Amino acid sequence: MNNNRKKVLNGDMVRQSLKDSFIKLNPITMMKNPVMFVVEVGTFIVLLMTIFPHYFGTEDSISFNLTVFVVLLLTVLFANFAEALAEGRGKAQADSLKQSKKEIAANKVMDGGGIKRVPSTDLRKGDIVVVSQGEMIPGDGEVIAGLASVDESAITGESAPVIKEAGGDFSSVTGGTRVVSDQIKVRITSDPGESFIDRMISLVEGASRQKTPNEIALNTLLTVLTLIFLIVVVTLAPIAKYLGIELSIPVLISLLVCLIPTTIGGLLSAIGIAGMDRVTQFNVLAMSGKAVEAAGDINTMILDKTGTITFGNRMASQFIPVGSEPVGSVAQWAAISSVMDETPEGRSVLELMKKESLGFDESITSGAEFIEFKAETRMSGMDLKDGRKVRKGAVDAVRAWVQSQEGMIPSDLIAKGDAIATEGGTPLAVAVDSRIYGLIYLKDTVKPGMKERFDQLRKMGIKTIMCTGDNPLTAATIAREAGVDDFIAESKPEDKIAVIRREQADGKLVAMTGDGTNDAPALAQADVGLAMNSGTTSAKEAANMVDLDSDPSKIIEVVAIGKQLLMTRGALTTFSISNDIAKYFAIIPAMFTAAIPSMNALNIMGLGSPMSAILSALIFNALIIPLLIPLAMKGVAYKPMSSTKLLQRNILIYGLGGVIVPFIGIKLIDMIVHLWI
């Protein structure tokens, strides 16, 4: 499917788009695009004058009228083709997705504990299913027991299987993917018709695509310009008649079509659809075009440290005792606190025990109650059957917990914790009741190339803020190494919301990534919230984008795509309006030179005759639309730079180019048309 996504054109798609171009001639459909609707109305009027010349007294200009009709019809068809082609790519992706959406047999766990084979369409939110090696996952859900390798190539295009496990960050599974090894128990989180594949099909087909605020504003501007030029052209006829100049209706329609912004009017819808398509090609499911556009205007980016800036595989690498405690005691209580901890950090503690050949009495944990990690407490552990409480967590959180029980704090605890933090590691303190035994040294590594990527964001004018639960020393070290602009240490969920609201209060647009339930409020608050597909259901529902590859750093690509979408729309609008200058110098002299010879001074292109000048401008106006379709679909190349430099670059290339290109194009077309006439 990934290959299908990356195909820009194929024969079937082009043929279907050509067919759709004629279907879209339906006036009800065309009315959604006021600019091209005006062109279609003009085309119909010229057609009537060509078919019934005796009614309009145009017997002597049938060939000219026929030529104008053909060129105008091609103009409308080219605009329809651009939109149909953009929609066709989405439909091709949807067809590919539909192939993976087949009815699957599911092993549903019944109330009595038995297993019943049922169709996947019978599953509802909350049902529990068992999926074994070689079987398809029947619906979106969360792994509640077990660990398995899952082939997600049907969704992400990535051939390498990924590990899905209960209790970790990678507990979310998608319907239509296949279990490669082992067995998992999954709780279904969506009803039929509401799965990610269903939502992707709906979005990429573009059937329910809503225009974004920016697109609506531009559409309004184009409509106003069209009305202004329509009024100008309508009033031009009586003024010309008063001066003794007879302007035919086809000539006036030609002038109107050349002056209104037909180029951007014909490509505007295609640009928006193609922008959504580019996001989908990056395996990002955007809930609306508004989210993609907002990404292009982002001022501030909130990033989690773990998994985004760093690899996120914080593994226990060393047990460090404090006070007079032996290493064995630290290791023993660290292991006891981690026996039921399914997080990667918890499992790494037990793996380090084996690696160091250290043992502990696991029977101590018999009948114990596991205390899960919470962002508010920043600790986890066990309440043992004999009344003792074992905790591991952030140094300051464990220290406060011990102090609340009137325990003593070892004198070297802070110094050893700071030493770990200064090296960029994360220290976890281990305590039993009122006694701290030592520290677990968790190592994490900054992803290569992150510093350069943040430099790019800085050039775009985007401020980066790293949020982490680490202490200030660790956070400062990672922030300095990664090159972020600011950081928030010992961050809680409410801290993320607070910083987002603070930035938004200053008039800034904010983006953030997240995957956990505690990230959901901040994802909902952010202007662009990118949730990981591997994350919790609540996170994905709160966000307006979901990354199917679960790569948190992809927010950087999303921002670039958003900026590219805005740039493409702005560049082609600039080019379209600039075109009118050349068309003005082509048509106006041609219309008035016969009656006002001095107007010939405006014929700076030296066009052959009035008729060839009008037809040349009209033909160029039609041809420029299909010539710009590849640019509209691919997007204008984006380079990180300030808004001022981007504006200057666009004006230079597309503004000046929009003036020069038509002069050259119209002149070349006129040389051919003049010979033909």
Residues assigned a catalytic role: 304
Angle at which helix 62-100 crosses helix 262-281, to 10 degrees, equals 10
Contact between 180 and 149 under an 8 Å Cβ cutoff? The reply is yes
Phi, psi angle pair for 597, to nearest 5°: -55, -30
Q: Would strands 141-151 and 178-188 be described as parallel, antiparallel, or unpaired? A: antiparallel
Q: Which residues are annotated as a binding site?
A: 341, 345, 373-380, 392, 515, 519
Structure tokens at 241: 């008649």
Q: Which residues are annotated as a binding site for Mg(2+)?
A: 515, 519
Structure tokens at 35: 């600019």
Which pairs count as long-range contacts for 513-516, CB under 8 Å and 24+ apart, including other chains? 513/302, 513/303, 513/304, 513/308, 513/547, 513/552, 513/553, 513/555, 514/304, 514/539, 514/543, 515/169, 515/307, 515/539, 515/550, 515/552, 516/169
Chain center to CA of 509: 15
Burial 456-489 (b: 16+ CB within 10 A, else e): ebeebebbbbbbbbbbbbbbbbbbeebbbeebbb
Q: How far apart are CA 172 and CA 585, in angstroms?
A: 62
Contact between 370 and 384 under an 8 Å Cβ cutoff? The reply is no
Q: Which residues are annotated as a binding site for ATP?
A: 341, 345, 373-380, 392
Contact between 431 and 391 under an 8 Å Cβ cutoff? The reply is yes
CB burial of residue 306 (10 Å; 0-12, 13-18, 19+): buried
Q: How far apart are CA 405 and CA 106, in angstroms?
A: 51
Partners of 131 in the β-ladder: 184
Angle ∠(426,432,435) on CA atoms, nearest 5:
85
Query: How far from 584 is each of 224, 236, 590, 652, CA to CA, in Å?
Result: 19, 14, 10, 21
Q: Diameter of the chain by CA atoms?
A: 111
Phi, psi angle pair for 228, to nearest 5°: -60, -50
Structure tokens at 634: 């691919």
Q: SS3 for 608?
A: coil
Angle at which helix 610-634 crosses helix 249-259, to 10 degrees, equals 30
Phi, psi angle pair for 387, to nearest 5°: 100, -15
Q: How far apart are CA 292 and CA 443, in angstroms?
A: 35
3-class SS string, 401-447: HHHCCCCECCCCHHHHHHHHHHCCCEEEEEEECCEEEEEEEEECCEC
Q: Would strands 379-383 and 389-394 be described as parallel, antiparallel, or unpaired? A: antiparallel
Q: Would strands 389-394 and 426-432 be described as parallel, antiparallel, or unpaired? A: antiparallel
- Which amino acid appears at position 373 of this protein? F
